[in-house]
Amino acid sequence: MLLINCDMGEGLGNDETLMPYIDAANIACGYHAGDTDTIKKTIALAQKNKVQIGAHFSYADKENFGRKEMFLSNEVVYDMVSEQLLQFSSIAKEMGEIVTHVKPHGALYNQAAKNIELATTIVTAVFDQLPTAVYFGLSGSIMLEAARNKKLAIAHEVFADRAYLKDGSLCPRNISGSVFTNEKSVEKQVSLLMQEKKIRAMDGTIIDVAADTICIHADTPNALAFAKVISSIVKNK
């Protein structure tokens, strides 16, 4: 069954209402949002709802919510990712939880999907700190290739609330229509994915995609309504 995942622990106030509709929580590690307290609170919510927990690591950029591109040395990226994973896994261990998966956030995610050097640096840090965690990455992207080459388990990720370009990448957020705002758009995208393993890009191109997990962003407008629609389609498949 397709896992429903959601980016959480970002201080948006809707984690508790979203949690019953998801299978895996990608919890902010404090660099783009959150802190030690929010990590603990979100893990506790996940425990209550029997939801898997994962480390959602990012650039150190709370001002831009981790969505501004950065160009850092491999050494800096490695240390940045390692620090977040170590802190998160330490908290999880204290709370008796296993970190089942990891996922980059925002600009780091999108850049790694297209940059093999960056992707390799990231997955090396993941392998060194959490070698048993499943790596969530953009379906069919370079970063999943890098993770596979590092012998990490991978999950091809697709997005319920985001528009795609014809090359299979996510449409940049500064383009109108890149983030879905109504339930009908989400329903169409998820239904096509479940029925045919395809996504319709913004220009109408039909893209074949591998899909192991589907994401909804907690900061997307109408996130709760979207989560209910996604859960209904996926669980009733």
- Residue ranges and CATH numbers for the domains of the chain are 3-161+211-217 (3.20.20.370)
Q: pTM of the predicted model, to two decimals?
A: 0.97
The maximal CA–CA distance of the chain, rounded, in angstroms, is 48
195 burial (CB, 10 Å; 0-12 / 13-18 / 19+) is exposed
Number of H helices, E strands in the chain: 8, 9
pLDDT tens digits for range 32-66:
999 999 999 999 999 999 999 999 999 999 999 99
Give the pLDDT confidence score for residue 124 in this predicted structure: 98
Q: Give every residue of the chain whose pLDDT is below 50, as ranges.
A: none
- Is residue 174 within 8 Å of residue 168, measured between CB atoms? no
Give the pLDDT confidence score for residue 236 in this predicted structure: 85
